[in-house]
């Protein structure tokens, strides 16, 4: 009798598993993708990063045979979009196109409803470009050493602009601030464009701007380049020294864009997405668009991107702790 009950129970389990496997929308990793992919973008529609994301989405649509549908969910330093993806099913049908702010968020936001490192899985970095420390021409400094001397002589008089609290343009300035022990005011704006305008107009005196924006204003004489936050000088403005050369040891701050999936997404799905992203970012028309935005195509593997992402999160957590940066 007991043996019959066990056999019946086993048959029921097999039947349930067969139903689950046949249920619509639960395609195995080998069949991926079997439906459209929702690509959540953490930038506003129409900006340079959004346009790059849409271009890659078009290439993924062709390569995967299913539409990659872009959905812009900007705000809160990218955390609105990231939280949506972090809380989605780990099946590869909801992915994030985010940026470097994700590596800063865990350290600075006190009320974060997810953990980017724990709840997101890196797929591939798409592109990157460095920040440059720029100053308004009216500021009587021509290099970082003179800036440090002026800031120490006049504590809390100078002000720097950022694209918002918790963004890379914010923390890029906090890093040299804590290293050189200067006191300057932080004025956060709602995006990179208004922050740039505030600096060009003289409302603020300093800002870390992405190199594509900085080099145009430097060449036009509207801003002065003090240092590039990269290991080597930028070909876009080779006359501007690196922050290391300018006297701030180890200062690297990159603006990068990349793709993420929810944690626990199957490895075969991650590998397929990575392959197609890596191919897409090196296609001639995509590369041309990246270069027009001043970005360098990357296409790193999931493991490479994960290692980089963890290292970035640790670095900016240390900077946030030393600078006392906390946001609601």
Mean pLDDT of all residues in 217-222: 95
Quick count: other Cβ atoms within 10 Å of Cβ 5? 9
Mean pLDDT of all residues in 202-221: 94
Reduced to 3 states, what is the DSSP secondary structure of residue 244?
coil
Residue ranges of alpha helices (H) inside 109-191 are 116-119, 144-153, 168-180
Read off the DSSP letter of residue 241.
Answer: P
Give dist(CA 223, CA 265) in Å, integer. Answer: 45
Each residue's pLDDT tens digit, 79-120: 999 999 999 999 999 999 999 999 999 999 988 999 999 999
Reduced to 3 states, what is the DSSP secondary structure of residue 20?
helix
Q: What pTM was computed for the model?
A: 0.84
Task: Tell me the percentage of the chain whose pLDDT exceeds 90.
Answer: 75
What domains are defined for the chain?
Answer: 34-128+256-323 (3.40.190.150), 130-228 (3.40.190.10)
Check: CB of residue 207 under 8 Å from CB of residue 169: yes
Question: What integer pLDDT is reported at residue 205 of this predicted model?
Answer: 97
Helices and strands counted in the chain (H then E): 12, 10
Per-residue confidence band for 17, with pLDDT thresholds at 50, 70 and 90: very low
Per-residue confidence band for 28, with pLDDT thresholds at 50, 70 and 90: low
Each residue's pLDDT tens digit, 163-195: 888 889 999 999 999 999 999 999 999 888 899
């Amino acid at each position: 009798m007991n043996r019959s009950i066990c056999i019946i129970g086993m048959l029921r389990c097999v039947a349930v598993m067969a139903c689950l496997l046949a249920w619509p929308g639960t395609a195995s990793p080998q069949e991926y993708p079997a439906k459209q992919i929702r690509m959540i973008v953490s930038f506003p529609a129409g900006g340079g990063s959004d346009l790059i994301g849409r271009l890659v989405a078009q290439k993924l649509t062709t390569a995967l045979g299913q539409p990659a549908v872009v959905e812009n969910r900007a705000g809160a330093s990218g955390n609105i979009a990231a939280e949506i993806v972090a809380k989605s099913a780990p099946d590869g049908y909801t992915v994030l196109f985010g940026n470097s702010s994700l590596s800063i968020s865990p350290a600075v936001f006190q009320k974060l409803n997810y953990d980017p490192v724990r709840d997101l899985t890196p797929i591939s970095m798409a592109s990157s470009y460095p920040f440059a420390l720029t100053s308004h021409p009216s500021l009587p400094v021509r290099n970082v050493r003179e800036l440090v001397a002026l800031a120490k002589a006049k504590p809390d008089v100078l002000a720097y602009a950022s694209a918002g609290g918790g963004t890379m343009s914010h923390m890029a300035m906090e890093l040299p601030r804590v290293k050189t022990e200067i006191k300057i005011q932080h004025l956060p704006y709602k995006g990179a464009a208004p922050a740039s305008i505030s600096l060009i107009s003289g409302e603020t005196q300093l800002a870390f701007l992405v190199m594509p924006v900085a080099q145009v204003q430097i060449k036009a004489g509207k801003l002065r380049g003090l240092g590039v936050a990269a290991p080597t000088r930028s070909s876009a403005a080779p006359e501007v020294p690196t922050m290391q050369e300018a006297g701030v040891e180890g200062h690297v701050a990159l603006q990068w864009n990349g793709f993420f999936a929810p944690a626990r997404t199957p490895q075969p799905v991650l590998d397929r997405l990575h392959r197609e992203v890596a191919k897409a970012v090196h296609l001639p028309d995509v590369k041309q668009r990246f270069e027009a935005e001043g970005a360098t195509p990357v296409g790193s593997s999931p493991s490479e991107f994960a290692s980089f992402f963890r290292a970035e999160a640790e670095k900016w957590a240390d900077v946030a702790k030393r600078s006392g940066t906390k946001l609601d």
